Every structure is written in C-alpha cells, then in structure tokens.
Homo-oligomer: A and B are copies of this chain.
Amino acid sequence: MKTPGPSSTQPPSRRIAEELRAAIEAGHLAPGDRLPSERALAHQYETARNTAREAIRLLAEEGLVTARHGSGVFVREPQRLFRFGSDRYSRSNRETGLTPFRLEARRQGKEARIDVVGITRERPPQDIAERLAVPADEESVLHRENHYFADDEPVQIVSTYLRWEEAEGTPLTQPRTGKDGIYGRLEELGHVMTRVRDEITARMPTRAEATVLGLPSGVPVLEVLHTSLDQEDEPFEVSRYVHRADRTGLFYELPVE
C-alpha cells in the first residue's frame, strides 16, 4: 500500500521538493553541497525540466537552497549571526570606541566597513514623524543613511533621523561626526539617552533592499524602528534598521516587574 499521506496526491514538483528537502534535513545533502542539475532531476523523475525547476524554486523560497547562475544550486550554508544585544545602546559600550557592529564583526574575524550613503534634509516618513514628534509635511528632519558591510558583504541598512532644527550647522550634517559619533554630538545638544524603544517586524525585502543587501530569494529582513529618549523622556533620534535576517539575531534582556 502506498502512503496515503501527502506524497500520493501531491503534484510532481512538490514531490521532488519534498524528497530533496528530506535529503537536506537528513544530512544526505550537506550545506554547501550541490544539488543535481535541473536537467538531471528532470530526467531522474521522468518529468519536464520546468517541473524540476519548480521544485527547486519551492526550496529556494523556503530559504533552504540558493541557485548560482551557471554554476548550480547549492544547499544554503547556515550563516553565523550578527548578534545585537539590548546593551548595544549603552554608554559603556560606546566608550570602547567601537560601535556594536564593529565589535561583532571583530568577534567574527571580519572586517567592518560603514558607508555613508547620504546625508540629506528631508520630509520624514509618517512613522518617523510620529515618533520623532515632527511634522510630516515639512522638511523637518536630517536623514543619514548608512550601509554596513562585513568583509565587503552588506548586512544592514540604517536610516537615522534627527530633527533638522537641531542638526543644522552641526557636525551631525557631516559624514564624520567626531568622537562617540552622533550620540556624542547629541549629548552636547543636551540629549542624554536614558531609554530606548525598539519596534520589531519582519517582512520580505523590497526590490531596492534586495539589491543593496544582495539577498537571494527566500531571505526576509528584520526591520527595527528604534527611538532614543532623553532624560526628559523626549524622543530625539529615530532610526530604521533593515537587517538581512539570515545574518542577524536580536537579543533583549530585561528585568520583569
């Protein structure tokens, strides 16, 4: 008797995908291994190449596998995570002179690079305007966009928004913001970071993000909307972090009650 399970009713592409998935999960196909070529699979399962191709697409969508044009389809290697702890905003951390990103990169023996992509005065997106308490219909913010790389591979996009009226004419509008970075300058403006709020969601990348981050299909992004509050509980900085999810872990530790 056949398994009355999914396998009998399933379309061929699903069945092929299922068997490959099983092989991967069982370790018969290890991370980095190449799958049989589309043509080989098609022949092996006595089906059309498009059907084998479809099976591979299903696995790619799940993030199990990625295709390299001209070379083959490979089992995805588990990526070492960049871990960002809730202590990443702490001052003690800042005093090491290393940003959390550089610290983490060093821990992994990788070279960190941060590109300043743009520093412009802008009208803020709605969500930013709300959190920074500025009008959304004026050019009320300074927008700094940075791209972060580890060994020249992009891992995150960060957009930082500051009140234009505060940032205007300060080093905050310059690529190099000086000692302790923007938080150093913001302290001089009277904002001591005393509390942070992080709002976290996950989604599929936009095309632009997929391009910048070099994301293969099947890799979502983590979006963190971060708000810094000062000693008077006023928000003074809001950032949007877009991380590639397969390389990022967030870590929050907090007291209860």
Contact = CB atoms under 8 A, between A and B. Distances in A.
Copies in the complex: 2
Interface residues of A, number: 43
A71 interface: no
A253 B196 contact: yes
A118 interface: no
Nearest to A211: B6
Interface in A198-257: 198-207, 217-222, 245-246, 248-257
A37 B4 CA distance: 29
A91 interface: yes
Given A199-B251, A255-B195, A256-B193, A204 B89 contact: no
Given A61-B61, A62-B206, A86-B252, A92 B257 contact: yes
A194 interface: yes
A116 interface: no
B201 A248 contact: yes
Interface in A158-199: 193-199
Given A86-B254, A90-B257, A252-B254, A220 B204 contact: yes
Interface string A52-71: 00000000011100000000
3 pairs of A and B residues whose beta carbons are closest in the complex: A202-B202, A220-B220, A202-B245
